[in-house]
């Protein structure tokens, strides 16, 4: 895993709250002197902000602290060693669970952001399908592709992809029936892209195909073929009945 991946993973864990107290303090202190980590944390906060805004606050019970103190004061003698062992075991399990927690949080955030953008940007679509484009190394989503098979309207949202100077991201449809990958056009690296680019494709190819993003020269692949391997790929699943 590259240094950039390490920074992005640390930022995601920091924002999702899966770091222990010591690790969180260390990350917060490093953030003050590490612009890359600070930018990554800010990006994660922006991705997850809609989830936080939609989650109602729940006040703890007024007597919760007294109940905790009572349980501590009345615990049987000899339980300290057992509890210390349990705490150590839980910390070890937490380290193994972090990657899974990061994946779940990132995907949940990506879906929420995609649906919020859809609701705020244009009327709901019928027979809507979604593909989350990722790579094999990290669980972070980079693009969300939404397709309405009835209207053949496609919307592409960049989630984790960064801007590349003098380069363009291009979306491709890959299916055995189509032979070589078919370009679905250049997509933006911020905001979202809406394209009526699917009229000539049959529903089977659209539903069963793989969607892939490549990095091309500015304006797209010059010869109509991918100039390199795909950066991120994904397949459709139905998002609305």
pLDDT tens sequence across 2-27 = 677 688 888 888 877 777 777 877 88
CATH of domain 122-238: 2.60.40.200
- Burial of 107 by CB count in 10 Å (0-12 exposed, 13-18 middle, 19+ buried)? middle
pLDDT in tens, 112-125: 555 555 555 554 44
pLDDT higher for 78 or 209? 209
Buried b (16+ CB within 10 A) or exposed e, 72-84: eeeeeeeeeeeee
Output the pLDDT for position 125. 43
Candidate from 22-26, 83-87, 131-135, 161-165 with smallest mean pLDDT: 83-87
pLDDT in tens, 35-92: 898 888 888 877 776 665 555 666 666 777 677 667 666 655 555 555 555 555 555 5
pLDDT higher for 93 or 60? 60
Measured from the Cβ of residue 203, the count of other Cβ atoms closer than 10 Å reads 12
What are the CA-CA distances from residue 191 to residues 114, 199, 206 (Å)?
Answer: 11, 24, 24
CATH 2.60.40.200 positions along the chain are: 122-238
pLDDT higher for 162 or 220? 220
Residue 212 predicted with pLDDT over 90: yes
Output the pLDDT for position 103. 55
Work out the average pLDDT over 211-230: 90
DSSP 3-state assignment of 113? helix
Residue 171 predicted with pLDDT over 90: yes
Decide: 141 and 105 in contact? Cβ < 8 Å: no
In sequence order, what are the beta bridge partners of 232? 213
């Amino acid at each position: 895993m590259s240094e950039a991946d390490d920074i992005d993973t640390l930022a995601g864990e920091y924002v999702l709250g899966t770091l222990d107290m010591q690790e969180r303090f260390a990350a917060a202190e490093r953030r003050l002197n590490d612009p890359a980590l600070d930018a990554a944390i800010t990006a994660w906060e922006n991705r997850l902000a809609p989830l936080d805004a939609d989650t109602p606050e729940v006040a703890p019970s007024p007597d919760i602290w007294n109940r905790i103190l009572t349980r501590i004061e009345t615990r049987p003698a000899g339980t300290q060693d057992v509890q210390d062992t349990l705490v150590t075991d839980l910390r070890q399990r937490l380290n193994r669970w972090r990657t899974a927690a990061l994946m779940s949080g990132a995907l949940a955030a990506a879906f929420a952001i995609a649906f919020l953008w859809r609701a705020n940007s244009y009327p709901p679509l019928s027979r809507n399908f979604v593909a989350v484009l990722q790579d094999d190394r990290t669980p972070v989503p980079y693009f969300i592709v939404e397709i309405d098979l009835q209207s053949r309207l496609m919307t592409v949202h960049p989630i984790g992809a960064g801007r590349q100077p003098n380069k363009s991201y291009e979306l491709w449809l890959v299916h055995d029936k189509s032979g070589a990958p078919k370009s679905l056009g250049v997509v933006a690296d911020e905001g979202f892209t809406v394209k009526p680019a699917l009229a000539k494709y049959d529903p089977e190819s659209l539903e069963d195909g793989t969607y892939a993003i490549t990095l091309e020269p500015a304006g797209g692949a010059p010869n109509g073929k991918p100039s390199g391997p795909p950066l991120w790929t994904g397949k459709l699943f139905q998002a609305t009945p």
